[in-house]
Chain A
C-alpha cells in the first residue's frame, strides 16, 4: 500500500513542480494597476441550513462506505441495519423539508 501512496506523493510533487513553474512565469509578468475594490466583508449567504444538514450527511456517508463493501457477504441482516439508518436520515430530510428549512434565503 505504501508504494501506491508514494506514487501519489511523487505525482503530487511533480504537479507541484509544474505549478511552481507556472507561478514563476506569472511572477515575471508585470501586474496591471489594481482596478477592483476589495470585498472581504461580512457576507450573508442563503444556504446556511443546507450547509448544516450537509455536515450531518457527510458523516452519514462515512458510515455507508465500509458497510457497502461488506454488505453482500452479510446478507439481509446488514440490509435491515442500513434500512434503519436510511430511515433515520429520510426522517431528518422530511423534518427539514416540512419545517421549510430547505430553501435559499
Chain B
C-alpha cells in the first residue's frame, strides 16, 4: 500500500473517531460515558495533528484532555443524579444515536425484572429523552456544516507552501515561546494564577458555614483517612 493511501486511511479513521466521539458525547445517557467520548473525540483530533507532523501538539492535546476530562467527570458525578446513566437508559423512549450510545448500560432483561428506580420515578419527572427542539437542532447543525464546507471549498486560492513542517516540534515551539510569544507565556502563567485564586476563593471553607451535612462529613473524614485496610464506606454491600 502506498504511503499516500495509508495517510488517507489514517485521516479517515481519525476524523471518524473525532466525529463519532462528539456525537456520542452529546447523545449518550451516561455522564461518565459522555466525558469518555469527549476524550475519544480529542484523541481523534490528536491523530490528525500527528498526520500534520505536529506530534508535540498532539500529545499535549491528549494529556490535557485525559486529565481535564477525568476531573470534569468527577464533578459531574458530584452534581448529577444519575451519573451512570442507568436510570435514564432504561426509559422506553430512546431512539437513534441516543439508544446506540447508551447500549451496554441496561441490565439484561432476564436478570431481575426492571430497575429499582425506573418504576416510581417516572410519573414525577418529565424526562423526555429527546427534546422537541431536536429536529430543529439537527437542521441547524447541518446548515452550519454546509456553510463551513462552502467557505472551505469555494475559497478562491489556497496558498501552497513547499516547506515541510519542522520535525523537531519541541525545539521550534520552545524557541517561539521564548521569542515571539513571551508575553503570551507569562500571560498564561498569570491566568493560571488567577484561576487558582478563583477556585480556592470560591471553594473556601468559610463560605459555606453551618451545613449539617458538611459537619457530619467532616467528622467522618477526621478518622476515615488513616484507615487503609477497611475504608469506611457509607454504602452497604449486599453479599
Contacts and interface: CB of A to CB of B under 8 A. Distances in A.
Q: CB atoms of A and B under 8 A apart anywhere in the complex?
A: yes
Interface of A: 1-2, 5-6, 9, 33-46, 48-49, 51-60, 62-63, 65-71, 74, 77-78, 81, 84-85, 88-89, 91-93, 95-96, 99-101, 104-105
Contacts of B192: 56-57, 59-60, 88-89, 92
A58 to B, nearest CB: 5
Interface string B9-22: 01000000000000
A66 to B, nearest CB: 4
B188 A43 contact: no
A101 B203 contact: yes
Interface stretch (B34-42, B74-82, B142-150): B74-82
Q: Interface of chain B, helix or strand or loop or mixed? A: helix
Interface in B184-239: 185-186, 188-190, 192-193, 195-197, 199-201, 203-205, 214, 217-218, 221, 225, 235-239
Interface residues of B, number: 64
Q: Quick one: which of A38, A68, A77 has the most chain B CB within 10 A?
A: A38
B78 A95 contact: no
A95 B71 contact: no
B171 A48 contact: no
Contact of B67 (A5, A58, A67, A70): A58
Q: Quick one: which of A37, A71, A91 has the most chain B CB within 10 A?
A: A37
Given A56-B196, A92-B192, A45 B74 contact: yes
Contacts of B217: 44, 105
Interface in B98-156: 111
17 contacts: A2-B7, A37-B237, A40-B85, A42-B77, A43-B83, A49-B203, A51-B74, A52-B203, A55-B67, A55-B195, A56-B196, A60-B189, A63-B177, A63-B189, A67-B177, A70-B174, A92-B196
Nearest to A9: B10
A81 B50 contact: no
Contacts of A105: 205, 214, 217-218, 221
Contacts of B91: none
B71 A62 contact: no
A6 B238 CA distance: 48
Interface of B: 3, 6-7, 10, 32, 50-51, 53, 55-56, 60, 63-64, 67-68, 71, 74-75, 77-86, 111, 167, 170-171, 173-175, 177-178, 182, 185-186, 188-190, 192-193, 195-197, 199-201, 203-205, 214, 217-218, 221, 225, 235-239
A84 B218 CA distance: 37
Give the top 6 A-B pairs by smallest Cβ distance, nearest first: A40-B84, A70-B174, A66-B174, A92-B196, A52-B199, A66-B173
B68 A58 contact: yes
A65 B4 CA distance: 32
Nearest to A40: B84
A40 B86 contact: yes
Contacts of B82: 40
A67 B238 CA distance: 54
